[in-house]
Each structure stands twice: as C-alpha cells, then as structure tokens.
C-alpha cells in the first residue's frame, strides 16, 4: 500500500492500514557550551539512513528493569554511541513517528550538558560533529545536513534559547499527521487533539529518509 493510501485509511479508520506500534525510545540533545552534538547515521540503517540525529535509540530489556527506563536508555545510548557519560539530564520534548511509516518510535528527547568531546563508538553512524545550532540549521536549509523534522525543531529551540531550564510539566507526545488537503497537523498522540494546525509537511520520510512530496 502506498503512502497516500495509508493516509486515506488512517483518516477513514477502515482498517486497510494498521499503523505499527510506536516503540519507546530516547535520545539526548547533548550540549558542550554553545555547540550541540549530531551524528550522521549510516546509509545501511533501516531507519532514518543518512539523517543527522542526536545520540539515542530504542528502550532495551535491561532499560525496562530501571526505575526510569527512558532515562536509562538515554544514558546507555549516549555512552554506547559516543563514549560520553551523561551526568544528569532532563526531559524536554517527545515526538511520535507518523502513522504511515513502516517503523515507528515514541521518542523522548532529553537535554544534557557535558565538557567531554567524546568519540564515535557505534557502527550505526559514520560521523559525529559538534556544531552551533544556527549553523546546523543553515546547513540543513542548504541541503548539506539532512534531518528529520523533530531534530530541526529542537535545533530551532536551541538557537533561540528556548531549551534553558527544565520544563515544569511533562512534554506532550506530538504526532505529525498529514491531512487529505496535503497540509499537516501536529496532534496529541494519545488524545488526537490538534496542537498545531495546517503546517508544511516534513521533507523526509522517517523510516527510509526518502524525500517527501505533496503526494506523500
């Protein structure tokens, strides 16, 4: 079933397309002074190949044994991928992969500060870079740093100083959903309440990183 037919099924609720369950995952927006760490994912990865992302991954069985599985996942993945021990971090944002993707994640974004440069210790990425958020956004707009929409929005928040301090309430789970007119809404993933209406759609599919079109 093509992507457009999947969206039509989601809106109709006819059961022709059953969205995969979103797997819990965590990622860390790691800051070193004014810089933020991005990893370039390998093109061999089945999810988001070639995308520039923050360190992170899916919650493991060992993480589930922790009092806070998402935090445990964030700390573990950062150590495994870039050899940086996260001293402390706070939950900042939460995004859920669109319903039409073949692989879906419910991703909690944590923010942490470090003085360590780290080193790439994962085969899931081919490069790591410490970069100013505004510079990363400019490179993305120039087509040099492919990114998924949540990464772009968090970099925009970093560049504008909206990531300082810990939120007083847990972030709501944001789910991008394409409307039949081609525009997108961002809805609450659990209640379906519309949080933001009529925005431009993402330019990349999350599962395979392929370009999105008005028909996607």
> In 3-state terms, what secondary structure has residue 28?
strand
Is the domain spanning 22-171 CATH 3.90.79.10? The answer is yes
Q: Which two tokens stand for residue 100?
A: 């039409």
What is the pLDDT at residue 46? 82
Torsion sign (Cα): 117, 119, 120, 126: positive
pLDDT 10s per residue in the chain (216 long)? 888 899 999 999 999 999 999 999 999 999 999 999 999 999 988 888 899 999 999 999 999 999 999 999 999 999 999 999 997 899 999 999 999 999 999 999 999 999 999 999 999 999 999 999 999 999 999 999 999 999 999 999 999 887 766 666 889 999 999 988 888 999 999 999 999 998 877 766 666 666 665 555
Q: How far is CA 174 from CA 31, 94, 107, in A?
A: 23, 6, 10
Antiparallel, parallel or unpaired: β 174-178 and 125-131: unpaired
DSSP per-residue codes, 43-91: TT-SSSTT-EE-SEEEPPHHHHTSSSHHHHHHHHHHHHHH------EEE
Domain boundaries, the chain: 22-171
Based on its alpha-carbon atoms, the radius of gyration of the chain, rounded to whole angstroms, reads: 17
Distance CA 97, CA 31 (A): 24
DSSP per-residue codes, 186-203: EEETTT--EEEEEEPPPS
Distance CA 101, CA 207 (A): 6
Strand (E) or helix (H) holding 12: helix 3-12
**Residue 115 φ then ψ, to 5°:** -105, -5
Q: How far is CA 169 from CA 91, 132, 163, in A?
A: 10, 28, 14
């Amino acid at each position: 079933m093509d992507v457009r037919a999947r969206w039509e099924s989601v809106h109709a609720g006819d059961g022709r397309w059953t969205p995969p369950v979103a797997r819990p995952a965590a990622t860390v927006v790691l800051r070193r002074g004014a810089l933020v760490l991005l990893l370039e994912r390998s093109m061999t990865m089945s999810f988001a190949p070639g995308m520039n992302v923050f360190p992170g991954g899916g919650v493991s069985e060992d993480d589930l044994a922790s009092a806070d599985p998402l935090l445990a996942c964030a700390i573990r993945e950062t150590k495994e991928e870039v050899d940086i021990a996260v001293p402390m971090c706070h939950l900042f944002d939460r995004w859920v992969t669109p319903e039409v993707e073949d692989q879906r994640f419910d991703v909690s974004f944590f923010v942490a500060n470090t003085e360590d440069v780290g080193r790439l210790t994962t085969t899931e990425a081919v490069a790591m870079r410490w970069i100013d958020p505004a510079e990363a956004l400019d490179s993305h707009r120039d087509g040099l740093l492919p990114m998924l929409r949540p990464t772009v929005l968090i970099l925009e928040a970093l560049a504008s100083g909206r990531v300082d301090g810990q939120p007083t309430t847990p972030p709501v789970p944001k789910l991008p959903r394409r409307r039949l007119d081609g525009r997108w809404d961002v809805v609450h993933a659990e209640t379906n309440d519309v949080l933001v209406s009529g925005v431009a759609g993402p330019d990349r599919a999350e599962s395979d990183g392929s370009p999105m079109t008005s028909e996607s």
